[in-house]
Amino acid sequence: MEKTVSEAIAYRRSCRVYKDEPIDTNKVKQCIENAVLAPTSSNLQLWEFYHVTNKDKINKLATACFNQNAAKTAQQLVVVVARKDLWRKRCKANIDFLNKSFDKPNLDKRLQNRKKMALNYYQKIMPITYFDFLGIFGLLKYLVFQVIGLFRPIYRQARLSDMRIVAHKSAGLAAQNFMISMAAIGYDTCPMEGSDTLRVKRILGIPWSAEINMIIGCGKRDDKGIYGPRFRVPFNNVYHQI
């Protein structure tokens, strides 16, 4: 029986060693389908997921992950990729969706205003936010926004590095959706940041403009797979009710 959300969260641990036992590729794919339902900044969905089931590719990726047990013993791997470079294409996809959604006869004024605001967001605000050239335009935007911020609230994270962070945050949210979904069906995962990302891109044919967010080992936990009891700092140290 599939676990509840709370049960899946409690069950999920970073599993370092997996059983030599295959897992269902279609079930893993369904969990990736859950991943793409995660919240994402401006609905741009600047992510891709490489579901690796080929054993030769897994072995090569394990080497690129410094032969970590979580990669070496994984039955499958999921590589989460941040694609900030696709912002124009994703903006266009949103614009096409909006035009199709609002393509109705006798659209009332409220919906006309909503369409206009949404299109303005993707046609004007997003290009200003995401466009950059060697970080120069981003720095100029950042300085201008800081001055404006002296007089009113303003979005300040406008540099190239800031937009990279935004893309990686969205990819991380999707990765968590995936791992909780895997836990719900009794499969285990381990998110890995330690890898030679250039080699990973070469192995999978990922464009150089893309960025590796994390590589997730997948399988069924071995008895030795969880290295120790769960440790978390006391909840009161991180919880602040205002």
| List of residues 6+ apart from 242 with CB closer than 8 A | none
| Distant-in-sequence contacts of 131-135, Cβ < 8 A, 24+ apart | 132/160, 132/163, 135/159, 135/160, 135/161
**How far, in Å, CA of 106 to CA of 103, rounded?**
10
pLDDT tens-digit map of 159-171: 888 999 999 999 9
Distance set, CA 168 to CA 16, 63, 163, 212 (Å): 24, 24, 9, 9
The one-character DSSP state at 123 is I
Does residue 107 carry a pLDDT above 90?
no
Distance set, CA 117 to CA 3, 121, 170 (Å): 41, 6, 23
SS3 212: strand
Query: Which pLDDT value is given to residue 219?
Result: 98
pLDDT tens-digit map of 146-197: 999 999 998 888 888 899 999 999 999 999 999 999 999 999 999 999 999 9
Does residue 104 carry a pLDDT above 90?
no
Reported as half-sphere exposure (CB side, CA atoms, 13 A), residue 60 has a value of 15
Q: What is the pTM of this model?
A: 0.93
Query: Which pLDDT value is given to residue 108?
Result: 87
Contact between 75 and 219 under an 8 Å Cβ cutoff? The reply is yes
Mean pLDDT confidence for 82-108: 93
The one-character DSSP state at 121 is I
**How does residue 109 score in pLDDT terms, banded at 50, 70 and 90?**
confident
Q: Is 186 left (phi over 0), alpha (psi -120 to 50) or beta?
A: left
Mean pLDDT confidence for 128-137: 87
